[in-house]
């Protein structure tokens, strides 16, 4: 059996996460620390760490593979990067909790208590980071997607969701894969409850930042009277919403003869004009090929009149990317590993982790154009293996030394 016959121990401080140096440099160039401190303010003079030190300390640790706040100790001891102040996990937890806003409680007609946490301040910071890094085009024909996701967790205040598990059910607005508005709600509050208010808050914040939204896309949770009343008074926004079927909703489809088949998707589609909430609306009906049971029809409800039936269907199916977005946030950016006991404190963690996700999307886009060992579709683990984990050290002359043959110099 072959084995180790010679071993030398060295006390040189080698950073095994050398690639993080380039991300830190990019964020310094963009003055992200100033952006954070301008939003959150200055901490007391005696404070060892600024808000930007604390938020970026966690973000950089996350981008090196940290899954829990206490993992920051591993990075703190190994980074050894000039002028980088890495806080302890205790300090990060303390400040995250201090940033929490008050949770609002609403009562439904049946007396159920619904807990919402709406953090306007951190959502504003998130939007300004998006604009600073230019990860979305504010003047484009942007589509805003809305969805809720269940985060299973056994927290002090978590409630049972429709999945019959305890947890939270945050509502998130996306443009492409970028989260642009996040608010948290408890697990017992279904996506349809007060959805109009949530979407309106998101769209209002985007409008205030000068970010154009031309289209809104959602599942059947948005198929409510309040939602359509709001969308009807915003004629500049086209909506594409999955219709929430009621019993006998589509009894008229049996008289439709001009079905168009889409063999690739195994469905047929047609258009029906149907009065809903006092207004005749356009429904793109969908049925599986050869299915003649009216109760098996689905529909996309839209106010768009320029796209063909097929184009509406194709456009709506792109919404399937939402699940990948949530998978990424839950698995790579720790939404499934909430650290605190209360809804409002975990809202802070959700949004700050989304900041890490936004910075990561920026880094992928920019770095992949300069070096071929970074791909713009990398998941975080691929990025860590291919870019982050490389030995490095800073010498006394403040020169960064990398132990690799990869052309990192192309990023300079």
Residue 255 is predicted with a pLDDT of: 65
Spatial strand order in the sheet of 166-168: 151-152, 166-168, 159-160
The residues pairing with 275 across neighbouring beta strands, listed in sequence order, are 280
Please give the residue range of the domain that contains residue 392.
20-98+369-411
State how beta strands 238-242 and 215-218 pair.
parallel
In a domain, 12, yes or no: no
68 in any annotated domain: yes
Same structural domain, 70 and 187: no
Q: Are residues 295 and 182 in the same domain?
A: yes
User: Domain end: 301, 331, 361, which one?
Assistant: 331
Q: Identify whether residues 260 and 150 lie together within a single domain.
A: yes
One domain, residues 108 and 227:
yes
pTM of the model: 0.94
Do 182 and 207 reside in the same domain of the chain? yes
Please tell me whether residues 92 and 124 are part of one structural domain: no
112 and 93, same structural domain? Answer: no
Asked if residue 284 and residue 215 are part of one domain, the reply reads yes
Q: Indicate if 374 and 259 belong to the same structural domain.
A: no
* pLDDT (0 to 100) of residue 82: 86
Is 5 within a domain?
A: no
- Residue 384 within a domain: yes
Q: Classify residue 352: in a domain, yes or no.
A: no
- Do 91 and 116 have their domain in common? no
9 lies in some domain: no
Task: Show the low-confidence residues of the chain (pLDDT under 70).
Answer: 1, 77, 245-255, 257, 294-295
Q: The domain that contains 219 carries what CATH number?
A: 3.90.350.10
Alpha carbon distance 184, 345 (integer Å):
10
pLDDT of residue 320: 80
In a domain, 345, yes or no: no
Rounded to whole angstroms, the Cα distance separating 403 from 21 reads 13
Residues 281 and 135 in one domain: yes
Looking at residue 64, its pLDDT comes to 95
pLDDT at 247: 45
Per-residue HEC secondary structure of the chain comes to CCCCCCCCCCCCCCECECCHHHHHHHHHHCCHHHHHHHHHCCCCCCCCCCHHHHHHHHHHHHCCCCCCHHHHHHHHHHCCCCCCCCCCHHHHHHHHHHCCCCCEEEECCCCCEEEEECCHHHHHHHHHHHHHHCCCCCCCCCEEEEEECCEECCCCCCEECCCCCEEECCEEEEECCEEEEEEEEECCCCCCCCHHHHHHHHHHHHHHCCCCCCEEEECHHHCCHHHHHHHHCCCCCEEEEECCCCCCCCHHHHHCCCCEEECCCCEEEEEEEEEECCEEEEEEEEEECCCCCHHHCEEEEECCCCCCHHHHHHHHHHHHHHHHHHHHHHHCCCCCCCCCCCHHHHHHHHHHHHHHHHHHHHHHHHHCCCCCCCCCCCCHHHHHHHHHCECEEECCCCCEEECCCCCHHHHC
Residues 161 and 289 in one domain: yes
Residue 394 included in any domain: yes
Residue that terminates a domain, selected from 277, 308, 331: 331
Predicted pLDDT at 295: 66
In total, how many domains does the chain have? 2
């Amino acid at each position: 059996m072959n084995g180790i016959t010679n071993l030398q121990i060295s006390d040189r401080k080698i950073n095994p996460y050398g690639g993080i140096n380039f991300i830190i440099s990019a964020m310094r160039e963009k003055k992200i620390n100033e952006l954070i401190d301008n939003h959150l303010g200055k901490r007391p003079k005696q404070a060892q760490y600024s808000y930007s030190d604390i938020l970026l300390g966690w973000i950089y640790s996350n981008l090196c593979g940290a899954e829990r706040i206490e993992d920051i100790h591993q990075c703190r001891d190994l980074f050894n990067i000039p002028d980088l102040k890495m806080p302890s996990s205790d300090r990060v937890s303390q400040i995250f909790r201090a940033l929490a806003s008050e949770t609002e409680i609403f009562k439904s007609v049946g007396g159920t208590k619904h807990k919402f946490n709406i953090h306007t301040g951190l959502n504003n910071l998130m939007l300004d980071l998006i604009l600073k890094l230019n990860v979305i085009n504010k003047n484009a024909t942007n589509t805003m997607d809305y969805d809720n996701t269940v985060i299973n967790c056994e927290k002090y205040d978590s409630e049972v969701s429709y999945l019959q598990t305890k947890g939270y059910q945050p509502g998130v607005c996306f443009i492409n894969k970028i989260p642009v508005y996040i608010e948290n709600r408890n697990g017992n509050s279904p996506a349809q409850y007060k959805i109009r208010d949530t979407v309106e808050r998101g769209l209002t914040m985007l409008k205030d930042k000068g970010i154009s939204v031309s289209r809104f896309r959602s599942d059947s949770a948005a198929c409510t009277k309040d939602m359509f009343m709001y969308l009807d008074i915003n004629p500049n926004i086209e909506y594409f919403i999955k219709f929430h079927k009621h019993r006998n909703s589509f009894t008229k489809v049996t008289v439709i003869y001009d079905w168009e088949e889409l063999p690739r998707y195994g469905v047929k589609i047609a258009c029906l004009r149907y009065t809903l909430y006092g207004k005749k609306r356009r429904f793109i009906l969908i049925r599986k090929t050869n299915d003649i049971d009216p109760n098996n029809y689905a529909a996309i409800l839209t106010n768009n009149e320029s796209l063909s039936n097929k184009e509406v269907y194709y456009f709506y199916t792109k919404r399937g990317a939402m699940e990948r977005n949530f998978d990424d946030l839950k698995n790579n950016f720790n939404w499934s590993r909430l650290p605190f006991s209360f809804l409002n404190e975990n809202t802070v963690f959700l949004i700050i982790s989304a900041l890490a996700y936004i910075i990561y999307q920026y880094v992928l886009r920019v770095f992949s154009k300069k070096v071929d060992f970074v791909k713009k579709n990398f998941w975080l683990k691929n990025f860590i293996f291919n870019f982050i984990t490389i030995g490095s050290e800073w010498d006394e002359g403040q020169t960064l030394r990398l132990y690799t043959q990869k052309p990192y110099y192309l990023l300079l």
